[in-house]
Amino acid sequence: MSLDRAQPATERDSPDPAGKVNILLVDDRPDKLLAMQVLLSELHENVVSVPSGKEALRRLLREDFAVILLDVNMPGMDGFETAALIRSRSRSEATPIIFVSEIDPADNHVARGYSLGAVDYIQSPVVPEILRAKVAVFVELYRKTEMVRRQAAEHARFLQEQTARALAEAEMQRMTFLAEASDTLSTSLDQRQIFESLARLLVPRVGDLCLVDVLAGKGGLHQVAVAHSDPVVEESLRGLQCFAEENCAVQVLRTARPVFCDALTPDLLDSHFPQPECCEIVRGLQPTAYLAVPIFARQQLVGAISLLGTGGRVFETRTLALAESLAQRAAVALDNARLYRRAQDARLEAERANRAKDDFLAMLSHELRTPLTPVLATVLGLTEQEETPASLRPHLELIRRNVELETRLIDDLLDLTSISRGKLQLRLEVTDVHEILAAALAICRPDFEARALQVTCALQATRTLVAGDAARLQQVFWNVLKNAVKFTPPGGRISVSSWDSAPNGLIVEIRDSGFGILPEQLAKIFDAFEQVDRKNFGGLGLGLAISRSLVQLHRGEITAHSEGQGTGATFRIVLPTTDAPAQASTGQLVDVPVSAADGLRVLLVEDNADTNASLTWLLRRRGFDVISAHNVGTALALIDAHGLDVLISDLGLPDGSGLQVLAYALGKQPRLHAIALSGYGMAEDMQKSRDAGFRHHLVKPVDVQKLEEAIQLRDAVPVRHAAGAESAAQS
């Protein structure tokens, strides 16, 4: 049997796993130690034997013992000294000590031992039963004490856990409430509604009466929300100025700090609610607690929330913290509402400016077109006149080309306006892309020749029918070809090719050997007004933007590719094809053979003197019987006096509108063929003409050729409109 059997217990509250308690035997004589150990082994506890007081103290530093059996007579540190030191340490001050001594316990010396904390004496030689019985009592006592201590610790831990859980739950509820509050507050973008939601959130959950006041000029207060669970009380307080401006129970607004009062006396109540009417109502509610917190928006004090607890409700500091958190959330909601309002105002302003820009562009193009009509008409007339000298013809051609170019620029501006308004309309029919491409190439041929460009064509697509607007697709091809010419130096190459693309489409590729496009510019060239070199090449930078929109309206795609400067550029247009043959297409437009002009009485109503004179002259030269008027009055008189077969009328006239002339003429001649002339070419302008009964709507400057075609389409229903003009015929 070892002298030192007990496992050291490092923690006071970690009992021996076997449930045994420690008993310490201290004696310098090994035989006595052994004897006692044997005697106590029947108790089935841990018996630890040490040979000296010093060793006993060392063990007591680390372990707890149910009882210590201490020999009184030991060499060096005797039992009394050891006992004194054991008592002096807090860990062992209450450990029972039984002295084992040869001295009779009745002896007076024994008193010393008791004074040093001995709980008992055992006379040596020990009587086994007495020894075991005494030790067993202390072992039992130790067990009970340990159990009580453990239970107390567990109870304390349980209470601690419960408190922590209650706090966590309260915090969770607070956070949920605040999150819900944020949601509620952010649903409105109106300041008053935000404050009303705020008051409703606080009552009755946090307080019984809530008033929200905001600063209203010159430091005054203005009530913006009131909430009480009784609607009658709420109504009686609504709109009342509860807080006098000079007193301002809401010191909050003066100090920008919260006011908190959890014991509301009548005096305090008077100071918080100085207005008699308001004070009376509030008194009737028997308030017991009051708090007010400031509301800041963008670091500016904007108002205060006042909260009243009634019927014994008390406010705690966390009530104040909650009210402050809500005030902060209301401030955020107010700020969002302000930003939203500002964004909305900015959007409305941008929309207004955009509309103004569109209207301006429409008017500008009208004003720009009007003077071009007589110029173009006169040039055409002079070209057709045999007596015009040959030396003048190149100059006339130059004027024609430039007027047409200017018309094109104006058209581009108008197209862009229509696209941005989403009002560009396509006249869809089944049409052959190769034919359209050929027409675009034909228009560009003089330019190819002028710059000695080598043009090759390899049109290999087998599916070439698309459901598209031929004029608009031609505009796209022409734009890309015109750019290829413009950006390719004289003598360069342009190749045009086409092939089928899977599953149902075709690709048209226009490749040039010109200046090419830098990679960083490639992404931008399809944006309106984007140009790489405005100075040297002119233009408005609209062609590709319009082309892309037109191709997209055809459910196709246009892309550009270039290896960089000096490497040329490649444009690809992908279009979805259709199987329907051209002649089977619905809504297909039909040409009508040209009839003779002779004998047709045409009334031309145009207030612009130059345009009127030149068109009259040109139409007469084509064999029409033209009578002309400059205003509505004269036009009606001429209709009465002469009758007419065809009416050509400007829409804007000094004394009225072309629509009035048409209405009058249709009254006289229901099958009248009427053509509107206008500087306005937007879809809605054309629709207006169509609704009034005009069969065609020609946009100025008017090409006499197209005007003549429109006249000769008289009686043809439906009609194909001349290129560049819109047919107003109903099919």
- Binding residues vs ligand ADP (CB under 6 A): 479, 483-484, 487, 512, 514-515, 517, 525, 530-532, 539-545, 569
Pairing of the two strands 601-605 and 625-629: parallel
Nearer to ligand ADP, 292 or 551 (CB): 551
- Residue whose CB is less far from ligand ADP, 112 or 451: 451
Q: How far is CA 201 from each of CA 137, 195, 287, 316, 332, rounded to the nearest angstrom?
A: 66, 10, 19, 18, 16
CB of 26 or CB of 494, closer to ligand ADP: 494
Q: Please report how close the Cβ of residue 567 comes to ligand ADP at its closest, in angstroms.
A: 10
Give the shortest CB-510-to-ligand ADP separation in angstroms: 8
For 197-202, which contacts have Cβ atoms below 8 Å and span 24 or more sequence positions?
198/225, 198/305, 198/326, 198/327, 198/330, 199/225, 199/226, 199/227, 199/305, 200/227, 201/177, 201/326, 202/227, 202/305, 202/307, 202/323, 202/326
Under a CB-based contact definition with an 8 Å cutoff, are residues 477 and 542 in contact?
A: no
Element (H, E) at 292: strand 287-297
| Pair 152, 164: CB distance under 8 Å | no
CA distance 721 to 470: 12
What the block records as the tokens of 143 is 């067990």
Q: Which helix (H) or strand (E) holds 406?
A: helix 393-420
Nearer to ligand ADP among residue 541 and residue 693 (C-beta): 541
Residue 53 parent element (H or E): helix 53-62
Give me the residue whose beta carbon is nearest to ligand ADP. Answer: 539
How far apart are CB 554 and ligand ADP at their closest, in Å?
A: 18
Number of neighbouring beta carbons within 10 Å of residue 186: 15
Nearer to ligand ADP, 219 or 566 (CB): 566
In this structure, the number of other CB atoms found within 10 A of the CB of residue 519 comes to 10
Structure tokens at 674: 């009427």
User: Shortest approach of ligand ADP to residue 423 CB, angstroms?
Assistant: 21
Q: Which is nearer to ligand ADP, 538 or 587 (CB)?
A: 538
Q: What are phi and psi of 292, to 5 degrees?
A: -140, 135
State the nearest-atom distance from the C-beta of 444 to ligand ADP, in Å. Answer: 13
Residue closer to ligand ADP by CB (options 87, 561) is 561
Between 48 and 542, name the residue whose CB sits nearer to ligand ADP.
542
In contact, 729 and 719? CB cutoff 8 Å: yes
- Beta bridge partners, 301, equal 296
| Min dist. Cβ of residue 404 to ligand ADP (A) | 15
Note the helical H segments in 63-108. Answer: 79-88
* Nearest distance, CB of residue 539 and ligand ADP, angstroms: 2
Closer by beta carbon to ligand ADP, 515 or else 680: 515
675 Cβ partners below 8 Å, 6+ apart?
646, 647, 648, 649, 694, 695, 696, 697, 698, 707, 710, 711
Task: Provide, rounded to whole angstroms, the least separation between the CB of residue 536 and ligand ADP.
Answer: 10
CB of 327 to ligand ADP, least distance (A): 56
Residue 496: beta bridge partners?
457, 510
The contacts found for 271-279 with CB under 8 angstroms, 24 or more apart, are 271/247, 272/306, 273/242, 273/243, 273/249, 274/243, 274/244, 274/247, 274/249, 275/240, 275/241, 275/242, 275/243, 275/244, 277/240, 278/237, 278/240, 278/241, 278/242
- Shortest distance, position 387 Cβ to ligand ADP, whole Å: 39
The two tokens of residue 666 are 């249709």
How would DSSP label each residue in 457-470?
Answer: EEE--S--EEEE-H
Least distance CB 412 / ligand ADP (angstroms): 8
Q: Whole-number minimum distance, CB 522 to ligand ADP, in Å?
A: 9
Nearest approach, Cβ of 512 to ligand ADP (angstroms)? 5
Question: Is the CB of 273 or the CB of 571 nearer to ligand ADP?
Answer: 571
C-beta of 431 vs 513, nearer to ligand ADP: 513
Q: Which amino acid is at 565?
A: Q
Instruction: Find the Cα–Cα–Cα–Cα dihedral 189, 193, 194, 195, rounded to 10°.
Output: 150
Q: CB nearer to ligand ADP: give 410 or 545.
A: 545
Q: Which is nearer to ligand ADP, 121 or 487 (CB)?
A: 487
